[in-house]
Chain A
Amino acid sequence: MLVAKNITKRFSGVTALDNICMELYPGKVNAIIGENGAGKSTLMKIFSGVHTQYEGEIILNEKPVHFSSTKDAEASGIAIIHQELNLVPYLSITENIFLGSELVNRWGILDKKKMQEKTKQLLKRLNLDIDPDTKISSLKVGQQQLIEIAKAFHVDAAIIIMDEPTSAISDKEVENLFSIITELKTQGKTIAYISHKLNELFQIADRFIVMRDGSTVNSGDMKNTNHDELIQMMTGRKILIQRHESTSEKSKELLQLKSICLKNAANRSDNILHNISLTLHSAEIIGIYGLMGAGRTELMETIFGLHPKLSSGEIKINDKPIRLKSPSDAINAGIVLVPEDRKLQGLSISQSVRPNISITILKQLEHWGTMLNKKKEMELSKQYIQQLAIKTSSTETIVKNLSGGNQQKIVLAKWLAKKPKVLLLDEPTRGIDVNAKSEIYKLIKQLAAEGMGIIVVSSELPEILALSDRVLVMCEGELTADIPANKATEAGILKYAIHKN
């Protein structure tokens, strides 16, 4: 049995796990459920030795353990199958399974035959009829997932953690996976199973553990609960965030999307977005909620002109149709995006605050031909630092050294400098402390009051409820609900966000 006892994990000020306790029973499928950001993945990463710094205790078979690496956890019989697969695409199945634990003969030469034999046996146990020499890159995602399971077999793991194993595989592959899980169960293995698909859990899981805001809120036998009860447990919340009061009366239509579709870059016959239509009014805040993989980010990126070749549909701004071939087209039309990952997409973190803010408005700063007016640039940066209360000791501080909240404010500043009509915000407060969060909320509301049209994408329901005039829900690339703020409830929203099948 694997037990987590009073585990607390903090990431630079943000508490991801708050004094959590959890028991995983052998011979059972333990389903771990919760909203995005509830702390499921963080806990699993502690179990599997990815995160090594935490408070509290892990007890494995009545003995306290502390894993210093994934290798260490593996040696104790814990294997994790990540949502993002950890396979080397250009190596074969055999080479991947034996990576880091290659068998050698007594001359120190790779014993390929023996490894191949062993791999063949593993694949057979998984009902996979594939040559062990096949390269990973030529396998389907579902098959790759099974190879990860084969790796867990190979290290003879007693505890197998699966993070969203069915998110990318077909129904038939799910069936195969479930029969393997059932077999593992009869062998007495402990399975920790993370999934958003509740129906699937009723099919495969024996126990449930509901996590919320970094704690466990409830656990029990799957057969003693039901769909609605689980949703209730996932969303029930102690802290109430003040709801957004819609101040402005409906004003004119600002942005219209008509039948926006987006093809999958890897497989063009597959659509990530299906016929999305929506209208954003000026001075309106729309909140878009969806679970992982619902297509929220992709929708924002499409409106920002990042997928010109894969997307179709019509976008109008102030009733004028626009064609977006690149982000600069979107920016010129008055649409800007504060992206999901500020360090990767929003900022040049090794540069200082000033050039990060001014990057979008350099054209306006040119004087005497092509020369930049540095005095004006300095004034503008100072103005935005003051206006957004960015805590930095000077305009020349390197962005890397600022807190997440202040970094996010810089991304906001660079776009506000551009004076946009439509502001798209993708997870605007991810990884930001509570204070900075409420400051950003205030700013968003103020911008809307000034007439800007704003779309907020978030995987945090309280955030959606705190900000939105209108809540749209996405599920598997489709808009599934359009709920006015005064009718929106967490359970109501979540119902539309969860997979129907």
Chain B
Amino acid sequence: MPAITATYKNQLSRFQSLVALIVLCIVLSILTDKFFTADNGLNVLRQTAVNICIATGMTLIVLTAGIDLSVGSVLALCGAIAAGLLKNGIKIPSADLFVGFTILGVVLAGILIGALLGFFNGFVITKFKVPPFVATLAMLTIARGFTMLYTKGQPISNLGSDFAFIGTGWWIGIPVPVWIAAVVVLFAVFITQQTKLGRYIYAIGGNETAAKFSGINITKVKITVYAMAGALAAIGGIIVTSRLDSAQPNAGTSYELDAIAAVVIGGTSLSGGKGTVWGTVMGAIIIGVLNNGLVLLNVSPFWQQVVKGGVILLAVIIDKLGEKKE
């Protein structure tokens, strides 16, 4: 019998954030008639897409009991590089060479840079045993600095309507960023639920020593995960740059906090080993709905921050209470 109740509890906690989201939507639908419309729904999803991308990568990291504070800066740097390459290409005067980039080219280049920055995080964390908090805090500053250097502190704008399609376009009645986020989420769900790598991620977060004693190459798994998170932050950066038609040097500031909030509200444990990508998606949408609903209710932006903080606390406290009962 205890197993059945355990599974039942497991199921319940899996849907905890979904239930919270539904309740939130019902409440907002009652309070305002503008909330429950298809337009507004898509609007929320479009605004949430970037956070979903970043938070998905963050989930993979947090599942290994790590953290990545650098995603906001990585987003900015990759967005800026993509914009710069699209606009100016690469000039090598000594060889009298000019390399121009297609949109696909800059997207891939941006993602590659993001993956490399993430790889560097993972490398420092595993090889030099630097705590993830510190290593990625350093990267937060470094990547922001490079963004400033690359953009010379000025936005890189006027990137053309084709590029703008990524952030502002629609396809089969749904905004392109939502499609991108959906692909990212499905990819991460596949990795975590269906592959060896996913199992290793959960195993390392659950008990790193036991994982090591099981012959798992912890260094390889962690570096892979940080590189993925970097790449996903880069995708977020490209969406942001495209939507604004401009790479802002201070883009993505404090995005890491929204991502961590989504992960936590989604029920992933910061000590690793427990949580799902779906939960994080719910967490991100809850934050998006909350922002949107509070605007519709004419709540001051200052209060919005207070409410958001309260929701984070509430989510974690509910989780902890659930754990105690076990």
| Known contacts A344-B207, A351-B206; A363/B196 CB under 8 A | yes
Q: Does chain B have a CB within 8 A of A392?
A: yes
Question: Which residues on A sit within 8 Å (CB–CB) of B202?
Answer: 348, 351, 355
Chain A residues with CB under 8 Å of B206's CB are 348-351
The smallest C-beta distance from B225 to any residue of chain A, in angstroms, reads 15
**Within residues 474 to 488 of chain A, which ones have a CB less than 8 A from any CB in chain B?**
none
Q: Is the CB of A347 within 8 A of B215?
A: no
A-side contacts of B4, CB under 8 Å: 393
- Chain B residues lying within 8 Å of A365, measured Cβ to Cβ, are 196
From A49-57, A130-138, A170-178, A323-331, the one touching the partner chain is A323-331
In whole angstroms, how far apart are the Cα atoms of A348 and B204 in the complex? 9
Interface residues as binary, A338-367 with B (CB distance below 8 Å gives 1, 0 otherwise): 010000111111110001001110110110
In this complex, what residue of B is CB-closest to A358?
A: B199
**In the bound complex, CA of A393 to CA of B216 (Å):** 28
Does B286 have its Cβ within 8 Å of any Cβ on chain A? Answer: no
Among candidates B7, B207, B211, residue contacting A349 with C-beta atoms closer than 8 Å: B207
Closest to A301 in B: B213
Tell whether, in the assembled complex, residue A398 and residue B6 are in contact, meaning their CB atoms are under 8 Å apart. Answer: yes
Supposing A366-B196, A372-B196, A372-B199 touch, asked if A345 and B215 sit within 8 A by C-beta, the answer is no
Q: Which residue of chain B has its CB nearest to the CB of A342?
A: B210
Q: Is A370 a contact partner of B210 (Cβ separation < 8 A)?
A: no
Are A347 and B194 interface neighbours, CB within 8 A? no
* A344 and B210 form a contact (CB under 8 A): yes
Q: Given contacts A328-B215, A370-B195, A372-B199, are A346 and B210 in contact (CB under 8 A)?
A: yes
Q: In the bound complex, do residue B3 and residue A394 qualify as a contact, i.e. CB atoms below 8 Å apart?
A: yes
Please determine whether B195 and A371 come into contact, CB atoms closer than 8 angstroms: yes
Residue numbers in B under 8 Å from A346 (CB-CB): 210, 213
Residues of A close to B216: CB separation below 8 A: 328, 359
Contact of A327 among B7, B215, B274 (CB under 8 A): B215
> Which of B7, B197, B214, B273 has most chain A Cβ within 10 Å?
B214
Task: Please measure, in the bound complex, the distance between the C-alpha atom of A304 and the C-alpha atom of B212, giving whole angstroms.
Answer: 11
CA A346 – CA B211 in complex, angstroms? 8
Cβ–Cβ contact A328 & B207, under 8 A:
no
Binary B-proximity of A396-430 (CB < 8 A = 1, otherwise 0): 11100100000000000010000000000000000
Once bound together, how far apart are the Cα atoms of A365 and B196, in whole Å? 9
Binary per-residue interface labels of chain A (30-57) against chain B in the complex, 1 for a CB within 8 Å, 0 otherwise: 0000000000000000000000000000
Are A330's CB and B211's CB within 8 A? no
B154 contacts partner chain A, Cβ-Cβ < 8 Å: no
Q: How far is the CA of A261 from the CA of B205 in the complex (A)?
A: 33
A385 interface hit (Cβ, 8 Å): no
Inter-subunit contact B211/A348 (CB<8 Å): yes
Interface contact A351-B273, CB-CB below 8 Å: yes
Cβ–Cβ < 8 Å partners of A394 in chain B: 3, 7
Which residue of chain B has the shortest Cβ distance to A349 in the bound complex?
Answer: B207
Q: What CA separation (Å) do A350 and B269 show in the bound complex?
A: 12
Specify which of B6, B199, B210 is in contact with A345 (CB 8 Å cutoff).
Answer: B210
Number of interface residues of B (CB under 8 A): 28
Bound state CA distance, A355 and B200, in angstroms?
10
Pair B3/A392 contact, Cβ less than 8 Å: yes
Q: How far is the CA of A392 from the CA of B3 in the complex (A)?
A: 8
Enumerate chain B residues within 8 angstroms of A194, measured Cβ to Cβ.
none
- For chain A, the bracket of interface size reads 35 or more
Number of A-B pairs whose CB atoms are under 8 Å? 89
User: Does A471 sit at the interface, judged by CB under 8 A?
Assistant: no
Name B102-154 residues within 8 Å CB distance of A: none
Complex Cα spacing A370 to B274, Å: 22
Closest to A348 in B: B206
Q: How far is the CB of B50 from chain A (nearest CB, A)?
A: 28
Give chain B residues whose Cβ lies under 8 Å from the Cβ of A327: 212-215
Q: Which of A326, A360, A393, A398 contacts B217 (CB 8 A)?
A: A326
Chain B residues, CB < 8 A from A366: 195-196
The majority secondary structure among interface residues of chain A is mixed
Given contacts A328-B217, A350-B274, A370 and B196 within 8 Å (CB-CB): yes
Q: A346-B210, A392-B3, A393-B1 are in contact. Are A362 and B215 (CB under 8 A)?
A: no
Given contacts A363-B196, A396-B7, A397-B3, contact A348 B212 (CB under 8 A): no
CA distance A406 to B209 in the complex (A): 20
Asked if B199 and A362 make an inter-chain contact with CB atoms under 8 angstroms apart, the answer reads yes
- Report B11 CB to chain A, min CB distance, Å: 11
Min distance, Cβ B95 to any Cβ of chain A, angstroms: 41
Are A393 and B3 in touch, CB under 8 angstroms?
Answer: yes
Please tell me if the beta carbons of A359 and B199 are within 8 angstroms of each other in the complex.
Answer: yes
Residues of B within 8 A of A414 (CB): 214
Known: A362-B196, A371-B194. A347 touches B274 (CB 8 A): no
Q: Is A337 an interface residue (CB 8 A)?
A: yes
**Which of B2, B190, B210, B217 touches A347 (beta carbons < 8 Å)?**
B210
A401 and B4 CA atoms in complex are apart in Å by 12
Q: In the docked arrangement, what's the CA distance between A360 and B206, Å? A: 15
In the complex, whether B203 has a CB less than 8 A from a CB of chain A is yes
Residues of A within 8 A of B212 (CB): 306, 327
Residue in B closest to A363 when the chains form the complex, CB atoms: B196
Given A348-B273, A392-B3, A397-B3: A360 touches B214 (CB 8 Å cut-off): yes
Given contacts A347-B207, A348-B273, 17 further A-B pairs with CB under 8 A are A306-B213, A328-B215, A331-B215, A345-B209, A348-B206, A348-B210, A351-B202, A355-B202, A359-B216, A360-B214, A370-B194, A370-B196, A371-B195, A372-B195, A394-B7, A396-B7, A397-B6
**B-contacting residues of A (Cβ < 8 Å)?**
304, 306, 326-328, 330-331, 337, 339, 344-351, 355, 358-360, 362-363, 365-366, 370-372, 392-394, 396-398, 401, 414
A-B CB contact pairs (8 Å), 14 listed: A306-B212, A326-B217, A344-B207, A345-B210, A347-B210, A351-B206, A355-B203, A358-B199, A370-B197, A371-B194, A372-B199, A393-B1, A396-B7, A401-B6
